[in-house]
Amino acid sequence: MSKIRAAKVIVTCPGRNFVTLKIETEDGLYGVGDATLNGRELAVASYLNDHVVPCLIGRDAHRIEDIWQYLYRGAYWRRGPVTMSAIAAVDMALWDIKGKVAGLPLYQLLGGASRDGVMVYCHANGVTIEETIEAARGYMAQGYKAVRLQAGVPGLKSTYGVPKDKKPYEPADADIPTENLWSTEKYMRSLPALFEAGRDKLGWDVHLLHDAHHRLTPIEAGRLGKDLEPFRMFWLEDAVPAENQAAFRLIRQHTTTPLAVGEIFNSIWDCKQLIEEQLIDYIRATVVHAGGITHLRRIAALADLYHVRTGCHGATDLSPITMGAALHFNLSIPNFGIQEHMHHAAVTETVFPHAYSYKDGYMHPGEAPGHGVDIDEKEAAKYPYKRAYLPVNRLEDGTLYNW
Ligand code: CS2
Ligand code: MG
């Protein structure tokens, strides 16, 4: 028994907004969990502060599954990104504590390492194809075995996924969302040339990925997947919005390009049909938005039965705590596929010291007890919350569209 003495929510903005839950036990240990939901951060902070923290005090920190069920079933209102991010934060903090009590890195509690390292992919972005290829070359020189290629679309002024001013990530940069224009026709015409150049200039010994950010219809996605088949992509991500899981049947009927989806999923119910019907190849749900280690393991176990591998979301709006927790998860499960790796800003790293590291295309969670990521509260206090939104997307006739 290790009684929970206190729990607090820390909101900080070192480069971008992060919400962290810190749980302390009566025997003087603590664990931290990520609760960041980009653009809706304070909703999760309130959910935790007002509704979860009071229910945690006095509970046994070791009863991770029981506390998970208590927060999920007990709330009556199930699922949804706010609820599941809050539960995830509790879950991550409790696994962190258990690891510290055991004196073992989290992956050891999850069954031990199934591989030596976690293959990661990075983002090569550019306004032009040449710029994107140049960026990919730079990453390959650092040892990356897998690179996501995104380039500006000729005829569209700005596109989400292609950062402005050569910034290294896609910042949520506006107090009120800025508006981009979108044209599927222009995009679909431009993309094969990017991957043709990719294979031509980068060769065949690198995995190439692409994110379509839910902007296509199923039949368009089928056609794009077919057009990209000659380039043997690792995956085409988020081809269509995935609320209607059956929509992926149509894409599958038309292309053998591997499909990835799920960064906005928050429970196993969002991907049950996609997995059981083998409509996808990679599931992108990750620790913070899909109910923590406890729930993500359940998703991965289901996926394993159907030849679906994991490809956890790892953008910079997920805090280093999620990256650390995901790396332990990735190292331990049998059906790991790949992990996304976007570099956090240096200032983010000062607030979240961590044991994980990158070397030659692979990451490793490190050997620190627990998940190995901490929060420096003094540093965190220097960066107050700042409202910031991602852009929205409109079609050229003004219709609001998916970004
Ligand atoms: C993207 C993310 O990493 C990805 O694949 O889709 O940048 C995503 O847009 C953000 O995490 C949204 O918060
Ligand atoms: Mg994505």
Per residue in 16-59, pLDDT (tens digit) is 999 999 999 999 999 999 999 999 999 999 999 999 999 999 99
Ligand 1 close to Cβ of residue 41 (< 6 A)? no
Would you say 45 and 387 are in contact if contact means Cβ atoms under 8 Å apart?
no
**Per-residue pLDDT tens digits for 387-402:** 999 999 999 999 999 9
Ligand 1 close to Cβ of residue 220 (< 6 A)? no
Residue 365: band (very low, low, confident or very high) from pLDDT cuts 50, 70, 90: very high
Closest atom of ligand 1 relative to the 211 alpha carbon: 5
Tell whether the model's pLDDT for residue 114 goes beyond 80.
yes
CA dist list (Å): 383 to 46, 282, 302, 317, 374: 19, 36, 40, 15, 16
pLDDT reported for residue 403 = 80
CB atoms under 10 Å from CB of 366, counted, come to 17
CATH topology of domain 109-368: TIM Barrel (3.20.20)
Closest atom of ligand 1 relative to the 170 alpha carbon: 7
Catalytic pick from 207, 210, 213, 289? 213
Measured in Å, residue 58 CA sits from the centre of ligand 2 at 39
How many helices, marked H, and strands, marked E, lie in the chain?
14, 16
Q: In this predicted structure, which of 65-79, 150-164, 185-199, 371-385 has the lowest mean pLDDT? A: 150-164
Ligand 1 close to Cβ of residue 317 (< 6 A)? yes
Measured in Å, residue 198 CA sits from the centre of ligand 2 at 20
- Distance from C-alpha of 144 to C-alpha of 136, rounded to nearest angstrom: 9
CATH topology of domain 4-105: Enolase-like; domain 1 (3.30.390)
- Distance from C-alpha of 270 to C-alpha of 244, rounded to nearest angstrom: 9
Tell whether the model's pLDDT for residue 171 goes beyond 90.
no
Residue with CA nearest ligand 1 atom 1: 315
Measured in Å, residue 315 CA sits from the centre of ligand 1 at 6
Mean pLDDT estimate for the chain: 96
**Where do the domains of the chain lie?**
4-105, 109-368
| Catalytic status, residue 343 | no
Task: Tell me how many degrees the CA angle 82-372-337 measures, rounded to the nearest 5.
Answer: 70
Measured in Å, residue 37 CA sits from the centre of ligand 1 at 11
Would you say 189 and 129 are in contact if contact means Cβ atoms under 8 Å apart?
no
| Catalytic status, residue 213 | yes
Closest atom of ligand 1 relative to the 160 alpha carbon: 9
Q: What percent of the chain has pLDDT over 70?
A: 98
